[in-house]
Each structure stands twice: as C-alpha cells, then as structure tokens.
Amino acid sequence: MLAVLIVEDDPMVAELNRRYLEQLEGYRLAGIASNGEAALRLLRQTAVDVVLLDVFMPGMNGLELLRAIRQAQHGVDVILVTAAHDVATVEQALRQGVVDYLIKPFEFTRFQTALLNYSRRRKSISEQQSFCQQDLDKQFFTPQRSGEAAALPKGLDRNTIRTIWEQIVRIKREFSADEIAGIVGLSQVSMRKYLKYLQGLELISAEVSYGAVGRPLYKYRCINKQANMF
C-alpha cells in the first residue's frame, strides 16, 4: 500500500482529506502534520510515498517545506492541495516537481483522479527495467484526453460504465440519476457513484438545487459526447 502524509493546518480540511483517502483502495495514512516542522519530523521517522501538501500554513509555508523536502532528498512525491492559484505559486510548485495540483475547494472525484494517476505512474515505473521513447510518451508525456481513465475506482464495472454512457449520449437535455438508473436497472446509490466518476473524467457536468425540504437535487448534462473511451 502507498503511504500518504497529509500536511494541513486546518483540522477540518485535514479530516476531510483523511476521509477521502479512506475511500480509496491501495493507500494508507502515514500521518497528519499541521505545520512544516512536524511534517519534516514525520518524514524522518516514517516511510512515506506521497505528501498531500497545503501552501498557506503558519511558520514554514508549503513551498518552503517543499524546497526543504527536496534539499533533504527524502525521496517522496508531492501533490499540492491548496487554495493558492496564482501563477507564481503554481510555477514554483511545478519547478519543484509536484506530481499534481488540486485547488480548493475540490470534489472527491478530482482527489480520486489525482491519487489514481499517481498510483498508475508508480506502478508503471516499478514494472519496467528500462524505457524506450514510445513507452515514456505513452505513459508520462502524452496529454491525457478528457474521458480517458487510468484505472477504475473500486466497485465500478467497465461494462456497466459503457452501458450508462451509451444512454447518456442519447439524451439531449439535463437528466437525473434516477432517470438513468431506471433505464439501466441500477440502484440510485450505485448510479450516483458512476455519475461522480464520469464527472471526474469531465464527461458530464452537474448542477445542484434544493427542494422544499432542503434535500439537494442534482441535474446532469453531457458535455463531451465525442469521448469514446468506453
């Protein structure tokens, strides 16, 4: 399992990231640090594969911690999870080799995509003794098209996704999870999981409204009918 260190000074956000991580197979929490100094201590004491790193923290900020991690040669990968979206921060993060960049607030599907892509990358590297140019281009340096997934999340079936997608592309209007669930023959709970996955691939969009009793009502719309990954 891949060990994940969460570095976040806001306890509520740290807890949310922890809960998101628990929903993904193949990962374990190595620890939670609320500041840069605590993170460096944990990195010295604990085996960590990837760090989920905030930028805005008291004392040592995230970019300073990122530089310290590189200087200490800890050999970990870093995913920035932050509200910082200015060009200077993004540029510095990329120069320091972050493998992904999540801007708060984000949905679970984007968090999931980041970790799944990271897991795929690690697996690809570990299975090779050497690379040819074609392998490198295919696995790392060719931009991923919208709708192209590295791996399916736990509990989802590719044939079911294909069936759902075939129904969605035929609809020329907004639709609900209940509507597609009735056509395909899935429970509403299962259908919502598949629709969240398709959202993460940027194939459908969702808008939420609230009924009289305050329950969220989601309406979906296909935004990329040309995708043919399924």
Q: What is the CATH number of the domain that holds 176?
A: 1.10.10.10
Question: Does a structural domain hold residue 118?
Answer: yes
- % of the chain at pLDDT higher than 70: 89
- 3-class state of residue 50 by DSSP: strand
Q: Which domain holds residue 211?
A: 158-222
Rg of the Cα trace of the chain? 20
Indicate the number of domains in the chain: 2
Q: Is 102 found in the same domain as 13? A: yes
Q: Is 120 found in the same domain as 163? A: no
Strands 50-53 and 204-210: unpaired
Q: Which residues contact 58 (CB under 8 A, 6 or more apart)?
A: 9, 35
Phi and psi, residue 178, nearest 5°: -60, -40
CA dist., res. 144 & res. 129, Å (int):
24
Confidence of residue 207 (pLDDT cuts 50, 70, 90): confident
**Exposed, middle or buried, 177 (CB in 10 Å: 0-12/13-18/19+)?**
buried
- Does pLDDT of 143 surpass 70? no
- Does pLDDT of 229 surpass 60? no
CA dist., res. 42 & res. 36, Å (int):
10
Averaged pLDDT for residues 26-42: 96
CA dist., res. 197 & res. 211, Å (int):
25
Q: Is 102 found in the same domain as 7? A: yes
Among 58-67, 87-96, 160-169, 205-214, which stretch is predicted with the lowest mean pLDDT? 205-214
Confidence of residue 213 (pLDDT cuts 50, 70, 90): low
Instruction: Give the count of beta carbons closer than 10 Å to the beta carbon of residue 56.
Output: 14
List, for residues 93-142, the tens digit of each pLDDT value: 999 999 999 999 888 888 988 998 898 888 888 887 888 888 777 767 65
Phi and psi, residue 15, nearest 5°: -65, -40
Averaged pLDDT for residues 7-29: 94
Q: Is 164 found in the same domain as 109? A: no
Return the beta strands (E) in the chain as ranges.
2-7, 27-33, 50-53, 77-82, 100-103, 204-210, 216-222
Confidence of residue 209 (pLDDT cuts 50, 70, 90): confident
- % of the chain at pLDDT higher than 90: 57
Separation of CA 19 from chain center: 13
Among 15-19, 25-29, 31-35, 213-217, which stretch is predicted with the lowest mean pLDDT? 213-217
List the CATH number of the domain containing 63: 3.40.50.2300
Please report which residue ranges of 48-149 form alpha helices under DSSP H.
62-71, 87-95, 108-126, 133-136
